[in-house]
Chains A and B, each alone.
Chain A
Amino acid sequence: DTAVSQTPKYLVTQMGNDKSIKCEQNLGHDTMYWYKQDSKKFLKIMFSYNNKELIINETVPNRFSPKSPDKAHLNLHINSLELGDSAVYFCASSQSAGGWNEQFFGPGTRLTVL
């Protein structure tokens, strides 16, 4: 009965490959997020979707493409992976986009690009 789940937990791949990370939440929330945590533990938002609609798109290379097939899922596809993409990627969800709503985080996906 995990609230926010991500797969895979670990991902090791070569430069230039394309990979996807999946996220699912069973909380009935409308809003989902992707955050990136770099090697220095710095956390920064990448994207946010509300009811399958993109509402936040930070300055992220267009090699990163989020996709939300439904409110419960937000996947992250990364093309032409680079060494600098190595990080931990966290998915999160909140009840709605506005106001104050706690964001619930997934366990993270550690991506290593060789």
Chain B
Amino acid sequence: AQSVTQLGSHVSVSEGALVLLRCNYSSSVPPYLFWYVQYPNQGLQLLLKYTSAATLVKGINGFEAEFKKSETSFHLTKPSAHMSDAAEYFCAVRQSLEGAQKLVFGQGTRLTINP
């Protein structure tokens, strides 16, 4: 079974600083990996996805993530944090069950941006 672990339930950075949110995966098959963002009192929005093509994936709002098989990681980065990036971020892996797919989520990381 596939799973993901997000390191750090809460990350705080200053506005303009680098954002790094960590995600490690466990999978016996090549994984499909995703980052979702949840703004306060809203649903989840897809930031980016890795589907076995390019290992460096660019997403919306200036975010990108790099798939590293040797480290079983899929960390999310953004060079310069903006106040509007404050949200909860979820890493997820696709798990297939007899033709059906489901997302298995990590525990989430709350990103706080300090002015």
**B43 and A106 within 8 A (CB):** yes
CB-based contact A41/B88 at 8 Å: yes
| A100-B32, A102-B49, A105-B43 given; A41·B108 CB < 8 A | yes
Chain B at the A interface: SS class: strand
In the complex, what residues of B have CB within 8 A of residue A45's CB?
Answer: 102-104
- In contact, A97 and B44 (Cβ under 8 angstroms): no
CB A28 to nearest CB in B, in angstroms, measures 18
Give every chain A residue within 8 A of B36 (Cβ-Cβ).
105
Interface string of B43-81 (1 = CB under 8 A from A): 111100101000000000000000000000000000000
Question: Which chain A residues border B44 with CB–CB below 8 Å?
Answer: 43, 90, 92, 105
Interface check B29, CB cutoff 8 A = no
CA distance A90 to B97 in the complex (A): 21
A100 adjacent to B51 (CB under 8 Å) = yes
B104 proximity list for chain A (CB < 8 A): 45
* B99 A103 Cβ-Cβ under 8 A: no
Within 8 A of A (CB), among B76-115: 88, 90, 94, 96-97, 99-105, 107-108, 110
- Chain B contacts of A94 at CB under 8 A? 101
Whether, in the assembled complex, A44 has its beta carbon less than 8 Å from a beta carbon of chain B, the answer is: yes
* Contact (A42, B108) CB under 8 Å given A100-B32, A105-B44: yes
Within the assembled complex, what's the spacing in Å between the Cα atoms of A103 and B34?
10
For B42, what are the chain A residues with a Cβ–Cβ distance below 8 Å? 107-108
Question: Of A48-56, A61-69, A79-87, which stretch is located at the interface?
Answer: A48-56
- Whether the Cβ atoms of B101 and A50 lie closer than 8 Å is no
| Chain A residues, CB < 8 A from B110 | 41
Closest-CB distance, B47 to chain A (whole angstroms): 11
Contact indicator A90/B49 (Cβ below 8 Å): no
Min distance, Cβ A50 to any Cβ of chain B, angstroms: 7
Contact B101 A98 (CB under 8 A): yes
| A-B contact list, 11 entries, CB within 8 Å | A41-B110, A43-B105, A43-B108, A56-B100, A98-B100, A98-B101, A100-B49, A100-B94, A101-B101, A105-B44, A108-B42
> Which chain B residues have a beta carbon within 8 Å of chain A's beta carbons?
32, 36, 41-46, 49, 51, 88, 90, 94, 96-97, 99-105, 107-108, 110
